[in-house]
Amino acid sequence: MTTEPAAPATGSTTPDVLGMQIAHRVILRDLDRTTGVAMAMADGGVPITARRTRMLVRYLELMAESIHHHHQAEDDILWPVIVERAGAHVDLTPLTEDHDALLPLLDRMRGGALAFQATPSRQSAAALAARLVELRSLLSEHIAEEERATFPVIRRYLSVADWRDVEARIRRNARMSFELPRIGAAVTPPELAALKADAGAAIVLMLALFRPAYRRMERAIWG
């Protein structure tokens, strides 16, 4: 049975999808940066040290966890709300199929990271870079299609209350010690101010708490 769409959201009731846009930007930024350092190690331009190896593999573990959480939350939380509100006005099948295709690529990337950790070398760094490139290729196309297909529907059919509930539920199981400093490093000052104003004082305090450890990890990997 087709669900009838709710009345379109208009005016001040239009959800602000900035948080989702930033989450997508952070994913692609991380894939660009980790691919870059893996390629640089493969080329011999960046030294393969024990500390860099350890921190990069840990970063990739956290990044893979974050990507999986993001897309699982879309399947379990966001997609059902969109279907309930928009009915036949959106087809999420291609996006769900992308999510299914993502899982083996994440596993391949994790395997490449573990192989690099076990035997750090220019060859294993090159293999890891190749796994990151294929992961980035899928996600760049998927994110572009997702934003094209869903953002207009979210703005039109979901209420602000719907969207706030979705965002809160997605954040509930996220590893904020990793997510928050990544976001803080990727946004513009006006975007950060908007996020802080929306999320409240607790997020500001957590960002200040988690940022130093994240920066140490960044320096160990990228210098």
The CATH number of whichever domain residue 197 belongs to comes to 1.20.120.520
202 pLDDT band, cuts 50/70/90, is confident
The answer to whether 132 and 34 are in contact (CB under 8 A) is yes
Give Cβ neighbours of residue 211 (< 8 Å, ≥ 6 apart): 180, 181, 184
> Is 145 inside any structural domain?
yes
> Is 1 inside any structural domain?
no
Is residue 9's pLDDT more than 60? no
- What is the predicted pLDDT for the residue at 205? 85
> Is 149 inside any structural domain?
yes
> Is 7 inside any structural domain?
no
- The C-alpha R_g of the chain, in whole angstroms, comes to 19
Is residue 172's pLDDT more than 70? yes
- E strands, the chain, are none
* CA–CA distance, 144 with 140 (Å, rounded to integer): 6
Looking at the 3D structure of the chain, how many domains does it have? 1
- What is the predicted pLDDT for the residue at 12? 60
- Give Cα 99 to chain centroid, integer Å: 13
> Is 9 inside any structural domain?
no
2 pLDDT band, cuts 50/70/90, is very low
> Is 140 inside any structural domain?
yes
> Is 3 inside any structural domain?
no
**pTM for the whole structure:** 0.90
Residue 161 Ramachandran class (φ > 0 left, ψ -120 to 50 alpha, else beta) = alpha
Owning domain of residue 100: 16-222
- What is the predicted pLDDT for the residue at 194? 82
The mean pLDDT value of the chain amounts to 91
The answer to whether 179 and 187 are in contact (CB under 8 A) is no
> Is 4 inside any structural domain?
no
Q: Is 146 helix (H, G, I), strand (E, B) or coil?
A: helix
